[in-house]
Structure 1
Amino acid sequence: MSQSIDDFATLLRSAKRSAVHLELRDVYDIGNETEGFRAWREGHRLDPEDQENWWRPWLDLVQEVTNQGVLMRRGRVVSEPPSEYIRYEHSFTFTNVTAGEAVRWLPRRDACDLLLPGNDFWLFDDRLVQFNIFDGDGRWTATEQTEEPGVVSACSAAFEAVWQRAVPHLKYHI
């Protein structure tokens, strides 16, 4: 199933209580090297005071949803030392936090005894899981959704296990 950004925004806006995201990869779409990633490689860093030039429209959507009372949390399981992409991602995660999303980082070595799904996912209101499927180079290829109670429960438990062990963004240093 393919999904447009607008379709995902509608799905996120449908959340009433919570939207959690578990990220398990060390590389996302480096093959296409976004403009932001290229600029970061050349030394550019986002200015905390220049919010107009942050990742829009995503952060506007985060603010909209969190301002409506939805708890947004993102857990990232990462290898250490981190990949170049994770260092890049870490450099601008303060923007997610400023927009209202709570973000934590879990070193992969601290997740050895956790049972985690094979794919990144979003979980909305503990009722709907959307898996994001990537190829080996980190390119997004598809989504799969389910409301099957066993899968929802397993994903919720996996996320909460990561969240309990993970380090809040402001305390996780690369």
Structure 2
Amino acid sequence: MTASTTLEEFTDLLAASARSAVHLEMRDVYAVSDPSYDLWLKGESFDRAEREAMWKDILAELLSRGVVVRRARIVSEPVTDYIAYEHAVTSSTNLAAGELVRWLPRRGAADLALPGTDFWLFDDAVVQWNHFAGDGTVQAGEVSTDAAAVRLCAEAFEAVWERGTDHSAFRLIR
């Protein structure tokens, strides 16, 4: 394993994808210092145009080459405020960029073998583990090509994807 801590290193891994990039998220809180999240909590308007444009730009080249980008989220119910916010911005950020997104209530994942942390899996060959502090702050990531780790992540993602509900049909329980 090697450390992968910068956005540039992540985008290099993503850009190198030839067929697929999948992301499994399993936390109920991420990056709680996000200013748009704070504004959303207060019921105020917020502007994510720069962030959304950046993600669309990153994915545009991939999608033009036929790379499929999927994201699955395992969430506790009732959902946290952060997950409600994430659900609210998924259409303008993830779906608008071309991702496919599904949601799975945590109880639906109880019998699945899942890795201990969130990850990205590129072309069923390279895993980037995403490590977080307890409050959702991003910590250093790690990259692995270990065959057992890749297999665990591929199987876990596909199992969650199969059970998940498409974003357009998923209703939050708050």
TM-score by structure 2 length? 0.91
Pairwise CA distance, 1:2: 4.5
Matched, 1:150 2:152: no
Identity %: 47
Alignment of 1:69-88 (within 5 A): 69-88=66-85
Aligned twin of 2:34: 34
3-state SS of paired residue (1:141): coil
Matched, 1:19 2:21: yes
Alignment partners' CA distance in 2, 1:61 and 1:100: 10
3-state SS of paired residue (1:134): coil
Alignment partners' CA distance in 2, 1:137 and 1:28: 7
Pairwise CA distance, 1:46: 7.0
- Aligned residue pairs total 169
Alignment of 1:117-128 (within 5 A): 117-128=115-126
Deviating more after overlay: 127-136 vs 51-60? 51-60
**Unaligned residue ranges in structure 2 (runs of 5+):** none
TM-score by structure 1 length? 0.91
Alignment partners' CA distance in 1, 2:29 and 2:41: 15
Two-structure CA RMSD over aligned residues (Å): 1.7
Alignment of 1:67-106 (within 5 A): 67-95=64-92, 96-106=94-104
1:78-134 CA-partner distances (Å, limit 9, x unpaired): 001100000000001002112110000000011110010000000000000010011
1:127-154 CA-partner distances (Å, limit 9, x unpaired): 0001001111111111111111111111
Alignment partners' CA distance in 2, 1:169 and 1:121: 19
